[in-house]
Amino acid sequence: MSLQFAFPPNLTTDKFIAQLSVKTALQQVSKQYALKTFYDSFDWRLYNQGLSGEFTRSKSASTFTLKQIEQDLALASTELKEVPAFSQDFQDATLRNLMSPFLEMRALLPIITLDYDIYHLNVINDDEKTVLRLQVENHELLDNLVTLFPLKGYDKAAEQIAAWFLDMGLSPNPKPLLVNALTLHGRKPNDYCSKISINLAPDMRADIAAKYIYSHLLQAIKVNEQGTIADTDSEFLHDFRVAVRRTRAGLSQLKGVLPDETTAYFAEFFSWLGQITGPTRDLDVYLLNFSRFKNSLPIAIRDDLDPLYDFLQHKQHHAQQELAKKLRTPKYLNSLSEWEDYLKAQAPFMTTQAHGKLNIKQLADHRLWKNYRRVLKEGSAITDSSPAEALHELRKSCKKLRYLLEFFQSLYDEAAIKQFIKNLKGLQEVLGNFQDCSVQEDTLKQFSEQMLNEHVHANTLMAMGVLIQNLDTLKLTMRSEFFSKFATFKHEDNHAAFKALLATHG
């Protein structure tokens, strides 16, 4: 197992080699200029698993390595000329299988690039045999590093060299190079996370707190904007839309906090923004789920579904181009700028808005309880004979409650509100699956008609028909599961816990 040490600030690589040469015989194998680029997803999925993707380029080779960060341990490596955009595009099966479960649909993006000189040295014994290999990284603005690679049968030599390193002032197990490099450039890992985290003081005036919430959501929209336009990966649009939906939920559920004309004006803009991003996202979802769709079919007809994938890709490409155009229009750019200016403007010393005068905890208690009661009422009214629209309306009410819980969770007991959100998620999942099946059934029927006009092979249409039947069966399963999930959600223990939650102050 390799060992890594960091140089003290006053020790140059030349001095290090000179001092070590006094103690043992060294052979310099090579010295090369190198570039190391760290790769991860936009939301740091590798880093959050303790991993880093490193693409190292030198005169002799270009290598992508997946490492455990803390141990600086290489898990898999392959030579390649450029890094594929997605983990599933790696030819090396080990790398592909290690990264794909974490990265899923997210693209690998360059995080930061370092240039440095890399020295390869051998430690030679009296018999002129190599007993140890050393790799020195000579960085201009970061601490230099030396990695010790022990060879089998020469453990004592490795222990001796490590002891000399300590005597020379080197530090073992240094902070990961990625973290140091990011710090140098004013960044830190996890500087983006799709999960909302808003810390509110219970006594904040409601209108000020609302603008604070909307400012967080605006930041999420802005940081995902370019990735959405470029179609870097589908999660940029997903996170963009979630921030838009959260903003719309806030504007509709926190009425009377901001001026009515302001709320109405921006509600129209964000409604438009939700509409123009919908078609591309819907097609993204079909493409993301295509493997699952295909595998749900009998093996004999799975390949017959492939023309549907090509059809979906074509439609997604067209929808994406239209979306990118709209996100460059004056309507989008000017309206978003107006929203940002409004949020940055200082709140009035005194507000005339009825709910704006409340403190945010009072408003949160009121709105959460009202939305919770609405969910209970709508859910309790659903029977076996209720139309699908009733479940769809309940799903929308659950979303509004979920968004409010996310806005206000810092005002309540952390463990209690997380448990309630967990119970709500279970209900949302079954409602979401039911809605997805309903929409996908209808849309696939429309696609079938369009593809029929394009003279697609009959076998493809038959495979799509089987898929539609499968979705209908799954929809019925989700409908039957709804009743047990809703019973869990409205259970008296959950009801009492939520009621008690709103009675406590953060």
Do the domain assignments include residue 199?
A: no
Which amino acid, 224? N
Query: What are residue 123's phi and psi, to 5 degrees?
Result: -95, 125
pLDDT at 353: 66
Sort 350 into a burial class: Cβ within 10 Å, 0-12 / 13-18 / 19+.
Answer: exposed
Instruction: Identify the bridge partners of residue 438 per DSSP, sorted by sequence position.
Output: none
pLDDT at 482: 96
Instruction: Identify the bridge partners of residue 434 per DSSP, sorted by sequence position.
Output: none
Name residue, tokens 């030349």.
14
pLDDT at 347: 77
Which amino acid, 314? H
Question: Which two three-digit tokens encode residue 65?
Answer: 């390595």
pLDDT at 2: 80
The DSSP code for 299 is: G
Name residue, tokens 């979920």.
402
Do the domain assignments include residue 310?
A: yes
Q: In angstroms, rounded to a whole number, what is the distance separating the alpha carbons of residues 250 and 343?
A: 14
Determine which helix (DSSP H) or strand (DSSP E) holds 234, and give its type and residue range: helix 234-253
For residues 146 and 214, membership in a common domain is answered with no
Picking from 150, 184, 218, the residue at the C-terminal end of a domain is: 184
Determine which helix (DSSP H) or strand (DSSP E) holds 76, and give its type and residue range: strand 73-79
The strands making up 25-40's β-sheet, listed across from edge to edge, are: 73-79, 62-68, 51-58, 25-40, 109-124, 130-138, 145-150, 3-6, 171-172
Do the domain assignments include residue 191?
A: no
For residues 352 and 265, membership in a common domain is answered with yes
Do the domain assignments include residue 192?
A: no
User: Averaged in consecutive runs of 10 residues, what is the pLDDT profile of the chain (506 residues)?
Assistant: 89 95 93 96 97 95 94 92 97 97 98 96 91 94 93 90 95 91 92 91 93 97 98 98 97 92 97 98 96 96 97 98 98 98 86 75 94 97 95 97 96 92 95 95 96 94 97 96 95 92 65
For residues 216 and 159, membership in a common domain is answered with no
Do the domain assignments include residue 465?
A: yes
Nearest to 99 by CA among 108, 56, 485: 108
Compute how many other C-beta atoms are within 10 angstroms of the C-beta atom of residue 328: 10
Quote the number of domains for the chain.
2
pLDDT at 462: 97
Instruction: Read off the pTM.
Output: 0.91
Q: How many residues does the chain have?
A: 506
Crossing angle of helices 260-288/306-326, nearest 10°?
Answer: 150
Name residue, tokens 């179609």.
231
Q: In angstroms, rounded to a whole number, what is the distance separating the alpha carbons of residues 378 and 391?
A: 9
Q: Which domain holds residue 282?
A: 206-356+366-502
Do the domain assignments include residue 403?
A: yes
SS3 73: strand
For residues 149 and 213, membership in a common domain is answered with no
Alpha-helical (H) ranges within 289-387 are: 290-295, 306-326, 330-344, 360-380
pLDDT at 70: 87
Instruction: Identify the bridge partners of residue 27 per DSSP, sorted by sequence position.
Output: 122
For residues 154 and 271, membership in a common domain is answered with no
Question: Which two three-digit tokens encode residue 388?
Answer: 């699908």
Q: In angstroms, rounded to a whole number, what is the distance separating the alpha carbons of residues 375 and 383?
A: 15
Name residue, tokens 């209690």.
416
Q: In angstroms, rounded to a whole number, what is the distance separating the alpha carbons of residues 451 and 460?
A: 9
Picking from 184, 216, 234, the residue at the C-terminal end of a domain is: 184
For residues 39 and 135, membership in a common domain is answered with yes
Q: In angstroms, rounded to a whole number, what is the distance separating the alpha carbons of residues 423 and 403?
A: 14
For residues 149 and 214, membership in a common domain is answered with no
Cα 46 to Cα 81, 274, 315, distances in angstroms = 21, 30, 31
The DSSP code for 142 is: S
